Amino acid sequence: MSCVAEELCPQADVVIPAYHADLWNDMAKTIDTDEFRSRAIEWLSGAVQNPTEVYDDMDIVGVDPRWDEFGPFQDWLREAYPLVHANTILTRVNTWGLSYEWKGSDSSLKPILLMAHQDVVPVPEGSLAEWTYPPFSGHYDGKRIWGRGSHDDKSGLISIMTTLETLMEKGFRPARGIVLSFGFDEEASGLHGAKKLGPALLEKYGKNSFAFLVDEGGGFSEQYGTIVATPGIAEKGHLDVNVEVHSPGGHSRSQCSPAHTSIGILARLLVEYENNPFHFDLARTDPLFGIFQCHAAHGEALPEALRKTVKKAAKSDGALKELQDVLFQERAFQSVITTSQALDMISGGVKSNALPEEASAIFNYRISIQSNVAETKQHDIDIVQNLVQEYNLTFRAFGELLTEEGVPSSGTLILESAFGHDLDPAPVTPYSGSDAYPYKFLSGTIKGVFNARRGLEGNDNIIVAPGMSTGNTDTKYFWDLTPHIFRYNHQNGIDPDMPSGVHTVNEHYEVDSYLEEILFFTTLILNADESRAL
């Protein structure tokens, strides 16, 4: 590795098991057999054949019968993985949340926490004709397994369970404990599943009790001529804000009809919000800056002018601004850095000749890691202060009256959080400096698995760079369990033949990628079992 590459984007050395080398080699050979391939296909196909759809409007567990779909799936899990259920302690949380503990022989070693979710997004009935194979068939076409959840996220859950079952079959007993946590409504914000599982694990194990946590997230793909893996080390925050205007009603033909109805005032407010988006500058602490440092160090196809700018930006503020100007030409890059806002819902009025007494709209915000919920709310307040005066409105924002009480007004403006999902950005997992060993450990494991599946040697066949998704996983309820949270599935992020179909029709998962994911969890577990630095 060149000195420049080492300075811009330090890479960990390959990590493969040493003490467990014979077992690891045996597992790798087993995974390559036709017998294991057939067995693995049956496992993932069987999981897909058990529908576990969740909806945003589901009532609490025990009341809404739609939760009962998880019963047959969990019965199937128990039959499919008898050794896992015989050798671990299973705790059920809020009926359908699953936590497995495989105790290690050395209690001085912090356990590792592996996560996935059981639920899948619904399949609209109107889309059924568009599926190449029925969405809950688990059909195998010789290359791919098809169906809802085959990729997101039953592939992750089944890869973990398959790894443990196979290790147990081969007589492995861990020194370092392994804990699994499987939520059941990640696709509906985890309010009934992970929101209960996180505190339950915290109560049982305590704060900062795990060496690291791995949940679904980034994979690897070719970027600028180099294969790059991007484990997620951060997540944006989340806020939904309801903007609600109230004004007097009456017949619209009245001679006293107001110049501006609640709908008209709301429209003016919404324009003001959309004309004043959030703005955040690119910072050297942002994962986007980190990944472009890696592109500059290792990306063979990165344009040379951009490479020079990235290198200079490490120390020059002027070059950092120049890099921002270049990157922000791509809206996707800008949205990663800033707090994004989207006007997603609107309602108002009940009849064409009746003045609307109420009109409302909902903004969805994905909050920059440079900001927080409080700053986002204050931004919303500040943007409309002039319009509050212009339209003579009583103003209530997030539970506080911001205009003088008792003064006559023409109506009321209310800002309030919607859906109860307020979430600050996640703590950033250390990926450089003295606290970054778990990141380096994961990086070395990724490299070892990538090489093993392709018969390669060396540290630079795949580059590991910090990643970040604009969405949130179930890890948002697990922050106190470890500072080392990684959102990563060892999956090839780009299918050269067709999109993966995640959250839409024709979801599928390539079996070769699935087998590599099993080897990833195998290597991760065995490497962690040997490490005394975690």
Residue type for position 242? N
Residue type for position 153? D
Find residue 214's DSSP bridge partners.
114, 486
Please tell me the total number of residues recorded for the chain in this structure: 534
Which strand ranges, in their side-by-side order, compose the sheet holding 400-401? 340-348, 358-367, 237-246, 411-417, 393-397, 400-401
Q: Exactly one of 119, 153, 380, 507 is catalytic; which is it?
A: 119
Question: What average pLDDT does this structure show over 85-104?
Answer: 98
- What sign does the CA torsion over 497, 499, 505, 509 have? positive
- Residue 260, marked binder: no
Question: What average pLDDT does this structure show over 431-455?
Answer: 97
**Burial track 142-156 (b if 16+ CB lie within 10 A, e otherwise):** eebbbbbbbbbbbbb
- Residue 117, marked binder: yes
Asked whether 44 and 138 are in contact (CB, 8 A), the reply is: yes
Three-class secondary structure of residue 99 per DSSP = strand
The pLDDT score that the predictor gives to residue 252 is 62
The pLDDT score that the predictor gives to residue 470 is 75
Domains within the chain, CATH numbers bracketed: 15-217+489-530 (3.40.630.10), 237-280+338-424 (3.30.70.360), 282-335 (no CATH)
Average pLDDT taken over every residue of the chain: 95
Per-residue pLDDT band for 501 (boundaries 50, 70, 90) equals: confident
Is 32 in the active site? no
- Residue 152, marked binder: yes
- Residue 495, marked binder: no
pLDDT in tens, 382-405: 999 999 999 999 999 999 999 998
Q: What is the DSSP string of 170-195?
A: TT---SS-EEEEEES-GGGTTTTTHH
Per-residue pLDDT band for 251 (boundaries 50, 70, 90) equals: low
The pLDDT score that the predictor gives to residue 43 is 98
Is 119 in the active site? yes
The pLDDT score that the predictor gives to residue 250 is 63
**Burial track 320-341 (b if 16+ CB lie within 10 A, e otherwise):** bebbbebbbeeeebbebbbbbb
Question: What percent of the chain is predicted at pLDDT more than 70?
Answer: 96
Question: What average pLDDT does this structure show over 112-121?
Answer: 98
Residue 254 in this model has a pLDDT that exceeds 60: no
Per-residue pLDDT band for 249 (boundaries 50, 70, 90) equals: confident
Residue 132 in this model has a pLDDT that exceeds 80: yes
The pLDDT score that the predictor gives to residue 5 is 62
The pLDDT score that the predictor gives to residue 496 is 62
Q: Exactly one of 69, 101, 185, 186 is catalytic; which is it?
A: 186
Three-class secondary structure of residue 36 per DSSP = helix
List the beta strands (DSSP E) in 247-357.
340-348
| pTM of the full structure | 0.95
CB contact set of 505 (below 8 Å; sequence gap of 6+): 127, 130, 131, 135
- Residue 215, marked binder: yes
Tokens 């903007």 locate to 243
